[in-house]
Amino acid sequence: MRAAALLLPALVFGVLVTAQWRAQQDRSEIAVRYNTPLTEAARSLQHEQDGLKAQLAGLRASLDAIGASAASQGGAGRELQARIDALKERGGLAPRSGAGVTVLLDDARGPVAAKDIDKAICHATDLTDIVNTAWRGGAQAVAVNDERIVGSSSVYCVGSTIMVNGTLLSPPFQIAIVGPQSALLAAFDDPSQLRDIKQRRDAFGLGFRVSRAAEVRVPAYSGALTVKRAAAR
């Protein structure tokens, strides 16, 4: 009876001691002290970025209106505006929609052994590999969680946080791809492509699914153009 009385508290004590030890191991004193203000600063900058992008979109719309007004006069203004519109389309500054495929990439949602976590979560290189496969399959427009992939786009990873076009993104990642469905599906189904991702999906539950979509919407690029040093010949 006395042994039984000791059993439960000992069990609970064991759980608590281990939980505390694990927590202390994971988070150093410095992390505890600085993470909250640093996290708030990062979120605040991301919030500020959303506002700046909205302002930029407004100014681009103003320039478009001025251009449209000049184009309505005919002559050189009309020609230049047609050229601007074509370049915006080519560069990813205009939204695009049509048939295509969507790709879902997500961290494994089921139980994963601690030693396998790295294989069960999505990495920046997974996104670059998927985007590369999309272009290979003839994609005409690609966006990752509504961030349009353009000629200057980069996928950047710090720790386990991923940025696309300098914007913080979290899984699940929805990759929207406009383009020829059969060629795109063939590229994603090709066993020689995305071998690592497919192997991690099968072995560790990484979320990876490619679906045909009758109507895919890819938004316009909303970041800065940053053309400072390169000049056209």
Partner 1 sequence: MRTASGGIASALVALVLGVLVATHFGSQEAFSRSLQLETPASLTTLIANLAEKNGALREEIFDLRLRVELAQEAIASGRGSLAEAERQVAQLRVFAVEGAVHGPGIAVRVDGPFDDRALGDLVNELRNAGAEAVAVNDVRVGPRSWFGLAADRTIVLDGAPALPAITVRAIGAPEVMETALTRTGGMLGQLALIYPRTRFGTSRESALELPALTRPMP
Query: From the list 24, 72, 97, 132, which residue makes contact with partner 1 (rule: CB under 8 A)?
Result: 132
Query: How far is C-alpha 109 from the chain's CA centre?
Result: 18
| Residue 75 token pair | 């002559």
Q: Does 31 bind partner 1 (CB under 8 A)?
A: yes
- Smallest CA-to-CA distance from 42 within 161, 177, 201 is with 161
Query: From the list 102, 144, 167, 213, which residue makes contact with partner 1 (rule: CB under 8 A)?
Result: 167
Q: Does 198 bind partner 1 (CB under 8 A)?
A: no
Cβ(207)–Cβ(108) below 8 Å: yes
Query: From the list 74, 114, 191, 215, which residue makes contact with partner 1 (rule: CB under 8 A)?
Result: 114
- Smallest CA-to-CA distance from 85 within 110, 67, 70, 108 is with 67
In terms of CB distance, is 22 or 209 closer to partner 1? 22
Instruction: Write the CB contacts of 60 (distance below 8 Å, at least 6 apart in sequence).
Output: 93
Q: Closest distance between partner 1 and the C-beta of residue 51, in Å?
A: 9
* Cα–Cα distance for residue pair 16/23, rounded to 1 Å: 10
Query: From the list 24, 72, 97, 158, which residue makes contact with partner 1 (rule: CB under 8 A)?
Result: 158
Residue 191: is the preceding peptide bond cis (ω within 30°)?
A: no
Q: Does 48 bind partner 1 (CB under 8 A)?
A: yes
Q: Does 170 bind partner 1 (CB under 8 A)?
A: yes
Q: Closest distance between partner 1 and the C-beta of residue 66, in Å?
A: 5
Q: Closest distance between partner 1 and the C-beta of residue 91, in Å?
A: 3
Stretch that binds partner 1, among 96-104, 155-163, 212-220 (CB under 8 A): 155-163
Query: How far is C-alpha 152 from the chain's CA centre?
Result: 15
72-111 footprint of partner 1 as x/- string (CB under 8 A): -x--xx--xx-xx--xx-xxxx-------------xxxxx
Q: Does 151 bind partner 1 (CB under 8 A)?
A: yes
Strand partners, 210: 103
Q: Does 203 bind partner 1 (CB under 8 A)?
A: no
Query: From the list 104, 168, 184, 202, which residue makes contact with partner 1 (rule: CB under 8 A)?
Result: 168
Taking each helix axis as running N to C, give the angle between helix 195-204 and helix 124-136, from 0 to 180 degrees, rounded to the nearest 10: 130
Query: From the list 24, 39, 182, 199, which residue makes contact with partner 1 (rule: CB under 8 A)?
Result: 39
Residue appearing with tokens 């400072």? 228
Q: Does 34 bind partner 1 (CB under 8 A)?
A: yes
| Residue 221 token pair | 């690029």
Cβ-based neighbour number of residue 215 at 10 Å: 9
